[in-house]
Amino acid sequence: MTPPDNRRWQIVGVVGTLICAWSTPAWAGTSYETFDVPVLENPVTIDGKLDDWGAQGNGWLLPLADSDWQQDGSDKGDGPPKEKDREVRVWMGQQGDRLHMAAQWQDPSQNVLYKPWKLAHESYVRANMADDMFVVRFQMGDSFNRCMLTNKPYHTDVWHWSAGRSNLAGIADDISHAFSDKPFDKPSREFEGNKGIVYFLKTLDEGSPGWQSVPQPDSITTPVVPGIAKSGIPSGSRADVTAVGVWKNGIWTLEMSRRLTTGDPEDVVFVPGGENIIQIAVFYVGYRLQKFVSKPIGIRFAVQPGK
């Protein structure tokens, strides 16, 4: 993939040992369970509630497996035992020219602070903390791989919701991930794969996310100062995915929505009657980044009446 010149590219990731952060060996193979995405009869309001989804029943229950992945890219090795595998319940439906998605998963703690300023020795220090996150990635083009360190090139469209940042702005970040066994024409991260170097490139869609980092406070007020603040109205392709998440009684409920077709070449196109492959990840407990991932699944879009 040749990235267009007018996009702002960002390097992410870390160099580490061979990991497949989106997979587990128990899910080897290339066949995917497929779920139908129906046409919704009743309107859906994106408010982090499931009131509008009653007609869709219990949705799809997807197991989430501990990815054995850490922020430094290493395996957990002989450290603490794996967390108990978890699960996420997912709903999807078409309404007019939009795809709606809802998800619900257990999380005993609500983490909404992202890199806050903490008081230490009469000054503020940026804390290495992150908010809870939910990520879904969609197949782009003809290829897809559950492993992020495969040497086979592929490209995904990613919706990245974060409890602190996204909820400030009412959107999920719209991102692209590209993987290749050859260097990109933009700076990219390098990983050691099982068949050589894997190049990983991430781009944020154009526009404003509706939030910004807060600079180090000049004066001492409270022990903790938020690290981000709302900034204007989300705009551009980066604001394509509306999203609201609500945490209550140890459960996150998230709703997201996007037009079936946005016109942006970096956005996946949802076609009534067509299919796609998706995969979900849930991040817990701030920058410990306990990452639990689903197996890839297929989604099949119903044909809308009159189309």
Q: What is the pLDDT of residues 31-75, one digit of tens each?
A: 789 999 999 988 999 999 999 998 888 899 999 988 754 444 444
List the pLDDT tens digit at each of the 307 positions of the chain: 333 333 323 323 322 223 454 443 333 345 789 999 999 988 999 999 999 998 888 899 999 988 754 444 444 433 334 556 789 999 999 999 999 999 999 999 999 999 999 999 889 999 989 999 999 999 988 777 776 666 677 788 999 999 999 999 999 999 988 887 777 777 566 676 667 777 777 878 888 999 999 999 999 999 999 999 999 999 999 999 999 999 999 999 999 999 999 999 989 999 999 999 999 999 987 656 688 889 999 999 999 876 6
Please give the domain boundaries of the chain with CATH numbers for all domains.
9-301 (2.60.40.1190)
8 A C-beta contact, residue 284 and residue 118: no
Which residues are paired to 245 by β-bridges?
Answer: 254
Among 226, 248, 241, 119, which Cα is nearest to 176's? 241
Helix ranges (H only) for 112-173 are 165-169
Distance from C-alpha of 69 to C-alpha of 175, rounded to nearest angstrom: 21
pLDDT in tens, 139-170: 988 777 776 666 677 788 999 999 999 999 99
The DSSP result for the chain, as a single string, is ----TTS-EE------SS--TT--GGG-SS---EEEEPBPSS----SS--GGGGGGTT-EEEEEEE----TTS---TTSSPPPPPEEEEEEEEEETTEEEEEEEEE-SS-----S-EEEETTEEEE------EEEEEEEETT---S-TT-SS-EEEEEEEEETTHHHHHTEEEEEEEEEESS--SS--EEEEETTEEEEEEEEEPSS--SEEEPPPPSS--SSEE-SEEE-S---SGGG-EEEEEEEETTEEEEEEEEES--S-TTSPPP-TT-EEEEEEEEEESGGG-EEEEPPPEEEEEPPPTT-
Phi and psi dihedrals of 223, rounded to 5? -60, -30
| pTM of the predicted model over 0.75 | yes
- 228, HSE (Cβ side, Cα atoms, 13 Å): 22
